[in-house]
Structure 1
């Protein structure tokens, strides 16, 4: 799969429903936005269609966040998701939240794709996505 298919970028703005009692973005909202990043990647790569067809389900096994600076009401920010690597079971991802060329938060995720038989190994997933997109497999 081409490298750009493993990156998702979303440009967003902090809205009133994103805020907590301290009037900055709620920590739970960061996790929701990480989910949106992953869904964007699934759709853009063709994985969403493949998951529906094969009845696969994406599941996050672990997620951590480090908060550096608050996002306040109406702050513009960009969040990028990069799939950094995978092993025999998990995909590993980094979510970077940027505002005004400054990192405001970083998250890491570890996720799997599940079928009714159990975990679908990432190599099988990547090859299936490439095949569905008509790409000669480059995944080793």
Structure 2
């Protein structure tokens, strides 16, 4: 079951968090609910991905990308992700999902989602890659084009070593999947 009630709350409160600017963060607060847990009584691994989705949607909504994508026939899409679980999030524990656009290169954008416990410790981190697909043009857009279409002027920073490794690993895994 998707997190529809949480998405509705995030969308209803997006304005109160202000516009998203590249380099900023999306911060969404949650509590680990009985519908989120597995048999170990902690946050289920699939729920991490769904809550990261909400962080990305919050960024897209607050940056104006969702409205722009609808007008232009674009579709923001995730290409892949890598997760590192460090600490468990137990039932009823409060935590934040802190999401950000880290940088981009060509048609790929690198995002990050940190799951932060109320103690300030990181419970998990997800690194993502994705892009914006132009359905009419049948191509992925250069992210610089998307940033300009949003009326922003921002330059990507160089990829860190861990981002370079992630991109290379993702590229190889994707290639392997295509070979079947």
Give yes or no for TM over 0.5. yes
Calculate the TM-score normalised by the size of structure 1: 0.90
Which secondary structure does the structure 1 equivalent of 2:90 belong to?
Answer: coil
1:121 aligns to what?
A: 142
C-alpha distance in structure 2 between counterparts of 1:56 and 1:88, whole Å: 16
1:51 aligns with 2:69: yes
**Which of 121, 125, 129 is the equivalent residue of 1:106?**
125
The residue number in structure 2 matching 1:40 is: 58
Please, which runs of 5 or more residues in structure 2 have no aligned partner?
1-19, 156-180
Greater fraction of residues in helix: 2
- Structure number with greater CO (CA < 8 Å, separation at least 6) is 1
Higher relative strand content: 1
1:133 maps to which residue?
A: none
Moved over 6 A (4+): none
Match of 1:139 among 128, 148, 154: 154
Is it true that 1:88 corresponds to 2:106 in the alignment?
Answer: yes
